[in-house]
Amino acid sequence: MDISNNLLTLADGNQMPQQGFGVYKITDHTEFLQSIKAAWENGYRLFDTAQMYENEQFLGEAIHNLAIPRAELFLTTKVSEANQGYDATINSVKASLRKLQTDYVDLLLIHWPINTEFFDTWRAFEELKKEGLTKSIGVSNYSMVHLQYLATQAHEMPVVNQIEVSPYMSQKPLLKFQQDHQIVTQAWSPLGRGKIFNDPTMMQLAAQKHRSVAQVILRWHLQNKIAIIPKSVHANRIAENAAIYDFSLTEHEMKIMDSVNKNHRVSKEPELVYEFGEQYPY
């Protein structure tokens, strides 16, 4: 098994690579194209973008330039807060597809929950799936209570919830809830935006494994059955992040990784985004 054939089966029957490539904050055109090329050459098949990132058009261009067969790709995009609501969601997704130069995405996510358009946006997602504009539908940054609330009106539940997960923000209760309800957890910022690389516990474990701290963290995610979308613009790190299939962590080492949790977020609190209807200053 390697990065290109390590697949998870979603609750709707579709398959998704467990490891993909995130493009958050990659906005330089040349840098973007080079990063996608390096990721593809190193076996990445899932590419994750969002309306908020303002680079969907770059991803569409990169895929077109590389002449990658659409069937070999797994594309994800996310609907921003500003584009939520039934009609606005449908219109914005069609605009995203034009930028991505594709007829459909493999996974469509609501980027953040907001109270004003909570159910109408999901209703639009269910319609977009029926129309074939996305194969699977999910959410991002939903807490347990948001998922429980959504279940009161949804005809089908999200198959993925993309949330912040890292050794410093392990989210064990939410992970268990999602596993119990057949919702795959996909971690954004799986490396904690690099702020945890100097943690002494993880540095010691990485040294013992003769691996980088990043590789040990990503391996911890894989063994926790969490999907991951690490990002980098450096070809050597893109390759390094993909080279995590030839070693494993013991049960004891997994517990060591669990021990560093601080319940510390690097981004917003989902409930406050839900209340404000946008990503508040942080």
Q: Which pLDDT tens digit goes with each residue over 161-209?
A: 999 999 999 999 999 999 999 999 999 999 998 889 999 999 999 999 9
Section 257-272 average pLDDT? 96
Choice among 44, 53, 142, 274 that is catalytic: 53
Task: Output the furthest CA–CA distance in the chain (Å, rounded).
Answer: 54
Q: What percent of the chain has pLDDT over 70?
A: 100
d(CA 278, CA 117): 12
Type of residue found at 55: N
Ranges of beta strands (E only) in the chain are: 7-9, 15-17, 21-22, 46-48, 74-79, 105-110, 134-140, 160-164, 184-188, 227-228
Supply the pLDDT for residue 194: 83
Section 140-146 average pLDDT? 98
Q: Residue 222 corresponds to which tokens in the numbers above?
A: 């894989």
What are the b/e assignments for 47-57, b being 16+ CB within 10 Å?
bbbbbbbebbb
Q: Based on the number of CB atoms within 10 Å of its own CB, is 13 exposed (0-12), middle (13-18) or buried (19 or more)? A: exposed
Residue 248 has pLDDT above 80, yes or no: yes
Segment 21-52, tens digit of pLDDT: 999 999 999 999 999 999 999 999 999 999 99
Strand pairing category for 184-188 and 160-164: parallel
Supply the pLDDT for residue 282: 64
Supply the pLDDT for residue 167: 97
- Please work out, in degrees rounded to the nearest 5, the angle formed at the alpha carbon of residue 235 by the alpha carbons of 233 and 240: 105
Supply the pLDDT for residue 281: 81
Q: Residue 255 corresponds to which tokens in the numbers above?
A: 């517990």
Using pLDDT thresholds of 50, 70 and 90, give the confidence band for residue 255: very high
Backbone dihedral angles phi then psi of residue 92, each to the nearest 5 degrees: -70, -35
- For residue 25, the 8-state DSSP code is T
Using pLDDT thresholds of 50, 70 and 90, give the confidence band for residue 152: very high
Place of tokens 């030839």: 246
Section 97-107 average pLDDT? 98
**Torsion angle of C-alpha atoms 106, 78, 21, 190, degrees rounded to 10:** -120
Neighbours of 107 (CB within 10 A): 26
Q: Is 53 a catalytic residue?
A: yes
Q: Which domains does the chain have, with CATH numbers?
A: 7-264 (3.20.20.100)
Using pLDDT thresholds of 50, 70 and 90, give the confidence band for residue 107: very high
Q: Tell me which residue of 40, 120, 41, 42 sits closest to 75, measured CA to CA.
A: 40
Report the predicted TM-score, pTM, of the whole model to 2 decimal places: 0.97
Please tell me whether 64 is known to bind a ligand: no
Three-state SS at 15? strand
Section 143-148 average pLDDT? 98
